[in-house]
Structure 1
Amino acid sequence: MKIAVVGATGRTGRLVVDLALAAGHTVTAIARTPARLPRFTHGTPHTAQADVHRPGSLLEPLNGQDVVVATLGSTGRQATTVFSDGALALTAAVRSGGARHLVTMGSAGLETGRLPFAQRVVTKLVVDRLYREIHRDLARMESVLAASDIGWTVVRVPMLKDGPPSANPSVSYDRPLPRAGTATRATIARWITDHLGDPDTYRRLVHLAD
């Protein structure tokens, strides 16, 4: 398949690019600054420069792709629109370019009301206070996707860390995990690359943890 990874210089995005190359896919690594892309272990991707805050910049690199993976991130805890702007730009470019699947990353902290009591208290007192503005924009992103007519998947992740992928990650579709805990970026990247173009994941919220 032809795979485009938006946000390919990030720690998760780099892993997705490398795993997709290892699986034999044709990969385009997209970043605001392609010069920051690392040397990949399993081959050399095509590269393209684009910024989700400039929607038109995504049209050419996403044209003709089969699957688009967005591993966007935000530094700091200030108000941001990177995720919602990204969703608007990506859905338009995916629809124009013909990709059948858009995979993005969200947060397990968005749905605290269905968590176990202890985890809900910790999330509200600590996580929500620290990442309130980021969560607000991630919620806007999910609303943009839900209103679109494309095949999307949001992988809701807990606190991320470095390390090897889990051999048996916990996965839940459309409802929070009982204990989200943490996940390695390698676990998230492995799950994403194993489910590229998987119609069973279309228009679903996938909760994932180690």
Structure 2
Amino acid sequence: MTTIALFGATGPTGRHIIEEALKQGYSLSVYTRDAKKLESFIGRIEIIVGDLSNQDAIAKCIHSADVVISALGPNALKVQGDKPVMHGLANIIAAMKHAGVRRLIQISTAAYRDPKDSFVFKAHAFALLFKVIARKGFEDIKATGELIANSDLDWTLVRIPNLKDGPSDGNVTVGWYGKTNLGMKLSRGNLAKFLVNQIVDKAFVRAAPAIADS
């Protein structure tokens, strides 16, 4: 059975990812700073407790995994210090390399620009607004995307707009800013399903597709 090491699982998106992965028959090793937040999943997942600087605990979470999914982002962490998500991902990538795990699926946003993008005012304005109101978060997302894209892993960066609570209905548009007509909303259920589907779907390996509800 394929095992997912999941980071950033205690936020609302993380719970959708856990439920989707279990529904699709995967086993899960889930990393959290607070095991109490995952009490409803006890007995169905393995829970590893640690923070993003705990390299031993990160290694324990990853060592028997086949793929890493990361829902880590500045929303899930109070941005303290310089680029905490990027530094956390650097520790995760080091553990992946040590364990021989190559597949990494990471949530990102329009703050990270992909070479396939064209200019589009809506996405550009959204990114600029985020940069103004949450500069540290913006810089962290951008740096995290660059760190992953410059690695030699089989990575996928899934770039998302505003998230809303809601189940998966399977209706998503996938493409590139400026080339695809992408909306500005995405349900957490649709995001979770897309992330988990990337484990077997190789269409976006070493690419950063943008997705939104259709």
Instruction: Tell me the TM-score normalized by structure 1.
Output: 0.87
8 Å contact from structure 1 (residues 8, 14) kept in 2: yes
Q: Deviations over 1:9-47 (max 9, x none)?
A: 111111111111111111112111112114149x71111
Secondary structure (helix, strand or coil) at the match of 1:135 reads helix
Instruction: Quote how far apart the aligned CAs of 1:89 are.
Output: 0.9
Segment of structure 1 superposing worse, 146-155 or 171-180? 171-180
AA at the equivalent of 1:74: P
Shift in Å at residue 162 of structure 1?
0.5
Of the structure 1 ranges 126-135 and 173-182, higher mean CA displacement relative to structure 2 is found in: 173-182
Hey, what does 2:101 align to over in structure 1?
99
Which runs of structure 2 are paired with 1:23-172 in the superposition (5 Å)? Answer: 23-40=24-41, 44-75=44-75, 80-111=82-113, 114-117=118-121, 120-121=124-125, 123-124=127-128, 126-172=129-175
Structure 1, unpaired ranges of 5+: none
Please say which of residues 169-178 and 193-202 is displaced more in the overlay: 169-178
Distance 1:149 1:134, change over 3 A: same
Q: Distance in 2 between matches of 1:122 and 1:21?
A: 33
What letter corresponds to residue 207 of structure 2 in structure 1? R
Structure 1 residues 176, 81: CA separation in 2 closer, same or farther (over 3 Å shift)?
farther
The answer to which structure has the higher helix fraction is 1
Asked whether the equivalents of residues 58 and 89 of structure 1 are also in contact (C-alpha less than 8 Å), the reply is yes
In structure 2, the residue matched to 1:209 is 212
* Counterparts of 2:189 and 2:63, CA distance in 1: 28
Counterpart code for 2:174: V
Structure 2 length normalisation: TM-score?
A: 0.85
Q: Is the 8 A contact 1:9 1:37 kept in 2?
A: yes
Q: 1:141 to 1:120 in 2, by over 3 A?
A: closer
Shift of 1:120: 3.3
Aligned residue pair count:
208
Aligned residues: CA RMSD = 2.6
> 1:18 is matched with which residue?
19
